[in-house]
Structure 1
Amino acid sequence: MLSKKNAIYPEHADVVIIGGGFIGSSVGYWLKTKAGSGLSVIILEKDLSYAKFQNNTSLGTITQHFSLPENIQLAQYSAEFLRNVKLHLNSDTNIEYKPNGHLILASEKYAERLEQNVTIQKEFGVKNELIMPADIKEKYPWINTTDVKLGCISTESEGVFDPEALLKGLVLKSSELGVNYVDAEVTGFDVEQQRDVLMEGVTPGGFRKINKVMYRTKDNEEYAIKFAVCILAASGQSGEVAKLAHIGDGDGLLKIPLPIQQREYDIYNIEDENIKASISTPVIMDTSGLWLQPNTLENNFMCGFTPMSNNSVKELLTDKFYEEIIRPSLSNRYPNFQDHQIKKIRTEFQDCNTYDETGILGPHPYHTNLVIAAGFGKLGCQHAPGIGRAIAESIIDGHYSSIDMTRFGFDRLLVDEPLVEFNVY
């Protein structure tokens, strides 16, 4: 994505961002947009080829079907950002946004929850409407609605887009604004003892502040950068990077680990002459966890499974999981489905917060100059514009001014108060 040039390894930066994916690059973009040349920003990304992001097309959806107000507001802002992406980024950024919308299918068990969610969404101005099974069947005759109690279809600001094009646009614009991308892997942090800092649970005079991040380049050279603020946006590796700052292996505020893991899941392609995807065909989310996404370029569908919190990472990639979970769900919802019409096309990656499946955003309670932005899973792509803006506001303005993201902070782990997105899929 970035043209090759002589690498620059500065020793100081105002802000160092670990991870140059959707969220990390969005943070860089917003910091430089708000502060300009007055703020030096470096992004450490261990794979500037972005190979793992290539063809991850299932990430390219935008929906507002949430129960948490913060997620609804982030999605609303992302919809505005994506519609005007050529103004925000560069004029040649083409994310191929298509306003397909989303269709949510709820069984008897989840129908009440769907109604509750729609009530919350309408309080924030979301344009959607509840739809009965008979109406769903009339509009989409290839969907089996016998076990569907209620549906909800969006009418505005939802659809699909090219996530790789969005990432490229964020990276190129951030670089153009002055963000320095460094192709390197973080190996550790350096600390300095601050005897004048008093913190609950910390022995007086024993506070140790992280002030440098060490990293190794592709040429196996070791460097260090001194920073004022560090952003941890390393996706599925964020938990491991946090351990380098002794998060999870210390005492007091350092006792609780950052519960972020990488989750891999398979994506399948469906081809059926009786089911044709068009620009008006919505993304379909099922209470079984099955999702169906139109691939209008090939006039067919992609599908996958939204994993539950009790699904292990390895479990999602087994033939047994396909045979016992995905295949029965497909056969039930789409009776025309046949084995020979579905094939695995790739394995995709996302980060997951194993504590409550909701992203973690904000400073660590001990390392207050380490801002965490990880665990958003599939939402990390669609929420990236709003997350980046929120972090930039907190650093430059000292507070969230657009969307209050306080509840997404690490502190909820300390007091054991999960922040759960109660969706029906």
Structure 2
Amino acid sequence: MLGASLRLGLLRHPWVRRLGTRGGGPPQGWDAKVSEVQKKIRSVLPGAAWGSLYDTSHLPPEHSDVVVVGGGVLGLSVAYWLKRLERRQGALRVLVVDRDHTYSRSSSALSAGGIRQQFSVPENIQLSLFSASFLRNINEYLAVVDDPPVDLQFSPSGYLMLASEKGAVTMENNVRVQRQEGAKVCLMSPEQLRTKFPWINTEGVALASYGLENEGWFDPWSLLQGLRRKIRSMGVLFCQGEVMRFVSSSSCMQTAGGAEMVLRRIHEVHVKMAHSLEYQPVECALVVNAAGAWSGQVAELAGIGQGPPGTLQGTKLPVEPRKRYAYLWHCPQGPGLETPFVIDTSGAYFRPEGLGNNYLGGRSPSEEEEPDPGNLEVDQDFFQDQVWPHLAQRVPAFEALKVRRAWAGYYDYNTFDQNGVVGPHPLVVNMYFAAGFSGHGLLQAPAVGRAVAEMVLEGHFQTIDLSRFLFSRFYLGERVEEHNIV
């Protein structure tokens, strides 16, 4: 049976209201009757203990109100807020399905861990402001009784974004919007830059913006594990496996213009268990697609984008995996521990990493340079040719750096406008999205999880209006133009 909070929220979905509700759950008192029969069976069997012949603890449950596909920070955040905001504590059954509980390929765990408010779109700024508050007060949210507190190892050194003459006007406009939304950001001239950061070469820099509060970086692994520990304590279930299939039903609806639309509703998620050829069906009321770089593939499994081109039915979720490299280097004469997270005019970025003059950084490739996402091998030549020259030009001390380690991770890249997709699909009425953030999903995950939970439980966004991030914008061609994508 549906949890009370979820039932109410789902019935408020603007598409579901037109369909009516669908029955089919067990009769009232069914669970009690089954329990009584089981007790009678056990009473006639020899021995005091009687359990399952096989260990089924690794299997997903046969029923779940919500199945969250993806166990990264976004999926865990959605699960957390669903449990936190449900009206009747313990009434909502939530299952998180993820392919790899070691997180060896997880975008969350492999990221640079930055947190900033320096965006150009108000919604992105608002998401980041709440997430900064969440991280700053992390143990008010994620504390678990008798367990040690979460330590994010937050470094509040700010972001320093550099603009050329060509980008100076855009930067001024961005900072104006950021301040209007409550972010503490200042503009700096090249002279002010050289005074505050004497290690920087300001050649080609016309203006800079510097975050004064709630910006810096933290340990993504600590957030990931803190969320997992907390939601386990709240009753969320986990399953290691891959979603292979959705079972759904269809119904037709007449639009105001007289056209006929086919609405679909998912009833079962088929999960292929790790190290097994079999799958386990899970009956569910609602699915949250938080599968990161693979969220587009999960959407296709639900039939999204399978209709005629140019129609809503034929509109795909435009999210695909993009490979990004991160490099860790040592530089004895580097800028030091007070260095902010620097975004160069070239797109190259870097920040300090721990103690001992180590630095973490990289650069997103151009469309022509995009590497093959089929593996996570690192191209060392990319650093030599496309990253190091820009680093050394901006920080002369980096001429003497030495790369110590490198790895690759995935962006869940939204090819439409590089912004997140949040909320329900208009035709697959019980699939919701938390995907496509193109590199800033980690820093916005706490706020996005809350937004998705609000939409599921209440039928609308409550704290931050993310209507511009709905799936329908892909069909309508309404891009959200964000100028500060790194």
**Under TM normalisation by the shorter chain, which class is it?**
over 0.9
* Corresponding residue for residue 103 of structure 1: 160
* CA-CA distance at 1:205 after TM superposition: 8.5
Which of residues 205, 217, 220 in structure 1 aligns to 2:273?
Answer: 217
Matched, 1:351 2:412: yes
Contact map agreement 1:287 1:424 (CA 8 A) in 2: no
* CA deviation vs aligned residue, 1:138-189 (integer Å, no higher than 9, x gap): 2222211011101111111111110000010111111110111111100011
* CA-CA distance at 1:199 after TM superposition: 5.3
* CA deviation vs aligned residue, 1:263-299 (integer Å, no higher than 9, x gap): 2211112322221431x32100112111111113343
* CA-CA distance at 1:28 after TM superposition: 0.3
Amino acid in structure 1 at the alignment position of 2:139: K
What is the CA–CA distance in structure 2 between the aligned matches of 1:120 and 1:340, rounded to whole Å? 37
Matched, 1:239 2:290: no
What is the CA–CA distance in structure 1 between the aligned matches of 2:201 and 2:414, rounded to whole Å? 33
* Corresponding residue for residue 468 of structure 2: 407
* Corresponding residue for residue 190 of structure 2: 133
* Corresponding residue for residue 37 of structure 2: none
Alignment map for 1:230-269 (pairs within 5 Å): 230-251=287-308, 252-269=311-328
What is the CA–CA distance in structure 1 between the aligned matches of 2:219 and 2:342, rounded to whole Å? 18
Gaps of at least 5 residues in structure 1 are: none
Aligned residues, how many? 420
Matched, 1:170 2:170: no
* Corresponding residue for residue 45 of structure 1: 98
Which of residues 267, 281, 303 in structure 1 aligns to 2:361?
Answer: 303
Contact map agreement 1:187 1:214 (CA 8 A) in 2: yes
| Alpha-carbon spacing, 1:8–1:144, altered in 2? closer, same or farther (3 Å) | same
| Alpha-carbon spacing, 1:281–1:5, altered in 2? closer, same or farther (3 Å) | farther
| Alpha-carbon spacing, 1:200–1:242, altered in 2? closer, same or farther (3 Å) | farther
* Corresponding residue for residue 287 of structure 1: 345
* CA deviation vs aligned residue, 1:279-326 (integer Å, no higher than 9, x gap): x32100112111111113343211111345665243996456434422
Matched, 1:9 2:63: no
Alignment map for 1:45-194 (pairs within 5 Å): 45-53=98-106, 56=109, 58-90=111-143, 92-194=149-251
Amino acid in structure 2 at the alignment position of 1:88: Y
What is the CA–CA distance in structure 2 between the aligned matches of 1:202 and 1:213, rounded to whole Å? 33
* CA-CA distance at 1:389 after TM superposition: 0.3
Q: Give the secondary structure class of the aligned counterpart of 1:237.
A: helix
Identity between Structure 1 and Structure 2 (%): 36
* Corresponding residue for residue 332 of structure 2: 273
| Alpha-carbon spacing, 1:144–1:304, altered in 2? closer, same or farther (3 Å) | same
What is the CA–CA distance in structure 2 between the aligned matches of 1:406 and 1:5, rounded to whole Å? 41
Contact map agreement 2:60 2:280 (CA 8 A) in 1: yes
> What is the TM-score with the length of structure 1 in the denominator?
0.92
Gaps of at least 5 residues in structure 2 are: 1-54
What is the CA–CA distance in structure 2 between the aligned matches of 1:147 and 1:374, rounded to whole Å? 36
What is the CA–CA distance in structure 2 between the aligned matches of 1:323 and 1:372, rounded to whole Å? 38
Q: Give the secondary structure class of the aligned counterpart of 1:336.
A: helix
What is the CA–CA distance in structure 2 between the aligned matches of 1:57 and 1:424, rounded to whole Å? 18
* Corresponding residue for residue 23 of structure 1: 74
> What is the TM-score with the length of structure 2 in the denominator?
0.81
Amino acid in structure 2 at the alignment position of 1:222: Y
What is the CA–CA distance in structure 1 between the aligned matches of 2:162 and 2:361, rounded to whole Å? 15
What is the CA–CA distance in structure 2 between the aligned matches of 1:14 and 1:149, rounded to whole Å? 54
Moved more, 49-58 or 88-97: 49-58
What is the CA–CA distance in structure 2 between the aligned matches of 1:402 and 1:307, rounded to whole Å? 35
* CA-CA distance at 1:343 after TM superposition: 4.7
Amino acid in structure 2 at the alignment position of 1:211: H
* CA-CA distance at 1:340 after TM superposition: 5.6
Alignment map for 1:337-376 (pairs within 5 Å): 337-338=398-399, 341-376=402-437
* CA deviation vs aligned residue, 1:45-100 (integer Å, no higher than 9, x gap): 11112222499464311100000111101111011100111110025211111211
Q: After the TM superposition, which parts of structure 1 deviate over 6 Å for at least 4 consecutive aligned residues? A: 200-203
Q: Give the secondary structure class of the aligned counterpart of 1:314.
A: coil
| Alpha-carbon spacing, 1:161–1:202, altered in 2? closer, same or farther (3 Å) | farther
Amino acid in structure 1 at the alignment position of 2:324: Y
What is the CA–CA distance in structure 2 between the aligned matches of 1:320 and 1:296, rounded to whole Å? 25
| Alpha-carbon spacing, 1:298–1:57, altered in 2? closer, same or farther (3 Å) | farther
Q: Give the secondary structure class of the aligned counterpart of 1:332.
A: helix
What is the CA–CA distance in structure 1 between the aligned matches of 2:156 and 2:406, rounded to whole Å? 25
Amino acid in structure 2 at the alignment position of 1:74: L
Matched, 1:391 2:452: yes
Contact map agreement 1:266 1:344 (CA 8 A) in 2: no
* CA-CA distance at 1:127 after TM superposition: 0.9
* CA deviation vs aligned residue, 1:343-401 (integer Å, no higher than 9, x gap): 55211222111111111111112112111111113211111100000001111121111
Moved more, 308-317 or 408-417: 308-317
Contact map agreement 1:17 1:42 (CA 8 A) in 2: yes
What is the CA–CA distance in structure 1 between the aligned matches of 2:229 and 2:155, rounded to whole Å? 23
Q: Give the secondary structure class of the aligned counterpart of 1:270.
A: strand
Q: Give the secondary structure class of the aligned counterpart of 1:393.
A: helix
Q: Give the secondary structure class of the aligned counterpart of 1:98.
A: coil
What is the CA–CA distance in structure 1 between the aligned matches of 2:221 and 2:258, rounded to whole Å? 44
Contact map agreement 1:190 1:211 (CA 8 A) in 2: yes
Contact map agreement 2:246 2:270 (CA 8 A) in 1: yes
Higher-Rg structure is: 2
What is the CA–CA distance in structure 2 between the aligned matches of 1:351 and 1:265, rounded to whole Å? 11
